[in-house]
Amino acid sequence: MIMIGGLPAHILLVHAVVVFGPLAGLGAVVYGLAARTRNYLAWPLGVLALILAPLSLITAQVGEQLQATRGATDMIQAHAWRGRWACLR
């Protein structure tokens, strides 16, 4: 299990995905609706997309490692199912 600062990495990585994912979605909506913002949003949205795609997969892998070490209660299994659905696996 990977640890960052004494915490399981999954806990920290999932927060990055939860914060930056909707931010990228909102930025994409603004990009599509307001033509004058396209010059400003093109690079940040591209970088967010390139970071979020592998980050979500890494977060899922680390979460599976955490699940294997902690056991599979009903709550953890429900969380794992939502994670698989979010990553479309």
Q: What is the pLDDT of residues 1-44, one digit of tens each?
A: 778 888 888 888 989 999 999 999 999 999 999 999 999 999 99
Q: From residue 65, give the alpha-carbon distance in Å to each of 54, 57, 72.
A: 17, 13, 11
- CA 75/CA 78 separation, integer angstroms: 5
pTM: predicted TM-score of the whole model, two decimal places: 0.76
Instruction: Identify the sign of the CA torsion 47, 24, 87, 13.
Output: positive
